[in-house]
């Protein structure tokens, strides 16, 4: 199966809502699809908006895919992450920032 364009995947991620029963698998599938294409800076606001929309949730563990996926890129995500946290503090956003700051301190 040919993968969809990045902007189409991002649009689906931006519109995602878990099922009333709390099923996050569709988001997990979308994220897996996104990691198969070239992840660009344009992805970051969309990914961080997921944290903003569900600030005290981890998406039944699915949000960790965002954390690990973004951390595995070569993108400089600190500024978009900080902007996201200013708009809406979120548990996973704060975890990401702490992890980034710890990593930066380890380089000194």
Query: What's the pLDDT score for residue 4?
Result: 87
Please tell me the total count of domains within the chain: 1
Domain enclosing residue 62, as ranges: 6-106
pTM: 0.92
Give a yes or no: residue 50 inside a domain: yes
Q: List, for residues 47-71, the tens digit of each pLDDT value.
A: 999 999 999 999 999 999 999 999 9
Give a yes or no: residue 86 inside a domain: yes
Query: What's the pLDDT score for residue 1?
Result: 52
Query: What's the pLDDT score for residue 17?
Result: 95
Give a yes or no: residue 1 inside a domain: no
Low-confidence ranges of the chain (pLDDT < 50): none
Contact in structure between 31 and 13 (CB atoms under 8 Å):
yes
Query: What's the pLDDT score for residue 76?
Result: 95
Give a yes or no: residue 29 inside a domain: yes
Give a yes or no: residue 59 inside a domain: yes
Distance CA 24, CA 17 (A): 8
Query: What's the pLDDT score for residue 2?
Result: 59
């Amino acid at each position: 199966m040919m993968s969809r364009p990045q902007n189409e995947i991002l649009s689906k991620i931006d519109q995602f809502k878990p099922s009333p029963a709390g099923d996050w698998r569709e988001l997990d599938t979308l994220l897996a699809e996104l990691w198969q294409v070239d992840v660009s800076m344009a992805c970051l606001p969309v990914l961080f908006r997921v944290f903003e929309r569900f600030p005290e949730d981890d998406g039944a563990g699915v949000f960790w895919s965002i954390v690990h996926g973004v951390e595995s890129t070569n993108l400089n995500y600190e500024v978009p992450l900080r902007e996201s946290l200013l708009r809406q503090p979120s548990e996973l956003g704060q975890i990401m920032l702490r992890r980034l700051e710890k990593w930066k301190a380890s380089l000194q």
